Amino acid sequence: MAKRTYKKTSKRGRRSAKQQIISFLVLAVLAFLVYYFLPEENEVPTPSYSIDQNEEGFYYYQVVGSDDYTYDARNLIGQALMDELNTINNSTKTLITYGDVRYALETVDRDLSDTEKLWGAYTSTMINAVWDAGDTWDREHVWPNSRLGLDRISNTQRSIASDLHNLRAATGSINSSKSDRFFSDGSGEPTITDDGGFYPGDDHRGDVARILFYMATTYEELVLTDDLELLLDETDHYTVEGARMGQLSLLIEWHKLDPVSDFEKARNERIFEIQGNRNPFIDRPEFVHLIWEGKTIADLEKPAEVKSTQSYVLFNLIERRWML
């Protein structure tokens, strides 16, 4: 009996080894074809967006399919990319009134772990998710209303000043401290800086940068600058000439140091459901390098060894599934 049992086990073992070899060869061919012979761009499926960065903080370029809303921006850099994003951002945008923003933020800024709270701008204060006529929280313009090139907005108006991407729930005290200051360097908690600017806090600096990048791309009259003299000049606020914000080089640094968070992704999706457009710098953070840092797409391609590692991991996952 023991002998027959041994022979049966041995036969099964030989068949299993043969199947493993065949599976390995098939998967090796498939991996080779996928890696070296990708289909044409319009056949590439839309990927899950990534925030992978290299050692210098630059985000890798992502190839998207024709069903992706950024598809028409493929292969573009510099001003051409900025112009195309302007078209994309505005093509589906439907602004709500500034009065309705109060109630939209009750949903848009909800904390990921506590749906009864809003994640307050700059201070991370957990705010009750109900508008209470401004007693608890305000509508904070990240790009200040006075620097948007138009008069102070009223609750009945729809304009650049009611764009949800630029508005955050914030406590009254931090809203007053930040006021219409430009953003400046700092560390730790939010604070007014010695040069007359405002540091938004370590956990919010990347969020701030990507909001300002969206605004500068969506509205042609807005300008990002490093010129402190211009940023400190308040004589032309509420005019098109004064529609400037910064500091640009610092915002680029913050974009790298504080990557896109799950809160930003969720907020971007919620705004899309209400306003109809998205912040592409949350979805495609590499666009910042292509527009403001003079990078090319080739500069931002993932190195072959990174791709090989990812392919190896994928290969092993598929092989294990086959062996189950």
Instruction: Give me the pLDDT at residue 13, please.
Output: 44
Going by C-alpha positions, the residue among 213, 118, 233, 226 that lies closest to residue 166 is 213
| Angle at which helices 205-218 and 262-275 cross, to 10° | 30
pLDDT at 45 over 80: no
Tens of pLDDT, residues 252-283: 999 999 999 999 999 999 999 999 999 999 99
Span 69-93, average pLDDT: 97
pLDDT at 198 over 70: yes
Span 296-307, average pLDDT: 84
Domains of the chain: which residue ranges?
A: 2-41+303-323, 93-276
DSSP class of 42 = G
CA distance 157 to 233: 27
* pTM of this structure: 0.81
Going by C-alpha positions, the residue among 127, 217, 242, 126 that lies closest to residue 165 is 217
3-state class (DSSP) for residue 221: coil
What confidence tier does 27 reach under pLDDT thresholds 50, 70, 90?
low
Tens of pLDDT, residues 125-181: 999 999 999 999 999 999 999 999 999 999 999 999 999 999 999 999 999 999 999
Span 282-297, average pLDDT: 98
Cβ-proximal residues to 12 (8 Å cutoff; 6+ apart), any chain: none
Give the residues across from 119 on adjacent strands: 126
CA distance 269 to 53: 23
Instruction: Give me the pLDDT at residue 321, please.
Output: 45
Instruction: Give me the pLDDT at residue 85, please.
Output: 98
DSSP class of 116 = T
